[in-house]
Amino acid sequence: MKIALIQLAYSGSMDSMKDQYRSLIAEAAQRGAELVCLPEFSLIPYFPGARQPDGFNFAEPIPGGESERFFSQMAKTHKVKIVGSLYEEAQDGNLFDTATVHDETGALVGVTRKIQIPSGNGYHETDYYAGSDQFPVVKLDALTIATPTCYDQWYPEIARIYALGGAELIVYPTAIGDEPEDHVMDTQDSWETVMRGHAIANGIFIAAINRVGSENGVTFYGSSFVCGPDGRILARASRDKTEVIIAEVSRDVIKEWRWHFPLLHQRRPSVYGNILQKWSGDEAPEWMEETPLRKIKPTQGDLK
């Protein structure tokens, strides 16, 4: 299966983002992509970069919200599967950072809510939504995929659970850039390396789709990529340009890697109990916020 990753910057409005995607998704389809993957909050700004009540206005339902309808339309028009991302307000009022999967008929076949929610300058996500405790996978014709989001990519436990659940390709819609507390620090290599490790340890493909451009003082570093079960990079985008990158993924490649490295078969879960303990080592950084996870919209725009 050929997959496409679409990397781009927020252009100021949902309508202008749709215009960009219409062209870029068409390009991906013309280049043979069967699965097209979009960045975190595909049609909207990275609003958690600032603490402002207006951020809650971007929440929308699934199904039937503007983003979900657009993803469905594009999938059906171009006869491709699409992984998209949006800010979800569930029927019970709970708020989530959510990835969707539509098949080539436009049907919604997968919904995955972000698990790990970061907080801190430039990434005030706990102000706006809570994390999930579910690990769904979506069975497509060629591969079974999982679609956790952004900060989930730093946690090996999450990748392992998805692999044990049958995921052969993990797709991470992403919005990550420089560190507001240290603009000299560049985490791009670390970001890529940790996910390549997930691929190797689990014998799976990994795809991460990032933004470019700057919002609320954060410059996103692009570098969207796909890697194979051996960690080898199959395609990588630039740090600052709008791009469509294409890579081919195959179950046969997974089988070959796992034949040589049957790591999942040789696990010893009975001795891993300590993985469940809470961390009690060094203290949390002073800058780290202790804001509670917000579950529903505030009644009067109060972010405290």
* pLDDT recorded at residue 240: 97
- How far apart are the C-alpha atoms of 207 and 214, rounded to whole Å? 22
* pLDDT recorded at residue 289: 64
Q: How confident is the model at residue 279 (pLDDT cuts 50, 70, 90)?
A: confident
* pLDDT recorded at residue 265: 96
- Overall pTM > 0.85: yes
- How far apart are the C-alpha atoms of 241 and 259, rounded to whole Å? 38
Active site residue 114: yes
* pLDDT recorded at residue 300: 54
Q: Which of 114, 125, 168, 215 is catalytic?
A: 114
Comparison of pLDDT for 217 and 291, the residue scoring more: 217
- How far apart are the C-alpha atoms of 151 and 7, rounded to whole Å? 18
Q: pLDDT tens for residues 4-15? A: 999 999 999 999
Active site residue 40: yes
Tokens 């919005």 locate to: 175
Q: Which of 34, 37, 40, 81 is catalytic?
A: 40
* pLDDT recorded at residue 214: 96
**Cβ(162)–Cβ(146) under 8 Å?**
yes
Q: Give, in order, the Cα–Cα distances in Å from 211 to each of 16, 106, 139.
A: 15, 24, 27
Q: pLDDT tens for residues 227-267? A: 999 999 999 999 999 999 999 999 999 999 999 999 999 99
Q: pLDDT tens for residues 110-147? A: 999 999 999 888 999 999 999 999 999 999 999 999 99
Q: pLDDT tens for residues 170-194? A: 999 999 999 888 888 999 999 999 9
* pLDDT recorded at residue 297: 83
Is the predicted pLDDT of residue 281 greater than 90, yes or no? no
Is the predicted pLDDT of residue 282 greater than 90, yes or no? no
What is the share, in percent, of the chain residues with pLDDT greater than 70?
97
Is the predicted pLDDT of residue 304 greater than 70, yes or no? no
Active site residue 286: no
CB atoms near residue 98 (< 10 Å): 26
**Cβ(28)–Cβ(246) under 8 Å?**
yes
Give the 3-state secondary structure of residue 45.
Answer: coil
- How far apart are the C-alpha atoms of 242 and 117, rounded to whole Å? 27
* pLDDT recorded at residue 17: 98
Give the 3-state secondary structure of residue 27.
Answer: helix
Amino acid letter, residue 40: E
- How far apart are the C-alpha atoms of 230 and 199, rounded to whole Å? 7
Q: Which of 37, 60, 125, 150 is catalytic?
A: 150
Is the predicted pLDDT of residue 292 greater than 80, yes or no? no
| Full 3-state SS string of 135-204 | CCCEECCCCEEECCCHHHHHCHHHHHHHHHCCCCEEEEECCCECECCECCCCCHHHHHHHHHHHHHHHCC
Mean pLDDT for the stretch of residues 22-32: 98
Is the predicted pLDDT of residue 299 greater than 60, yes or no? yes
Average pLDDT over all residues of the chain: 94
* pLDDT recorded at residue 302: 56
- How far apart are the C-alpha atoms of 178 and 297, rounded to whole Å? 28
Distance of CA 5 to the CA centre of its chain: 12
Mean pLDDT for the stretch of residues 151-162: 98
Q: pLDDT tens for residues 86-111? A: 999 999 999 999 999 999 999 999 99
- How far apart are the C-alpha atoms of 188 and 236, rounded to whole Å? 12
As to burial, measured by CB atoms within 10 angstroms (0-12 exposed, 13-18 middle, 19+ buried), residue 111 is buried
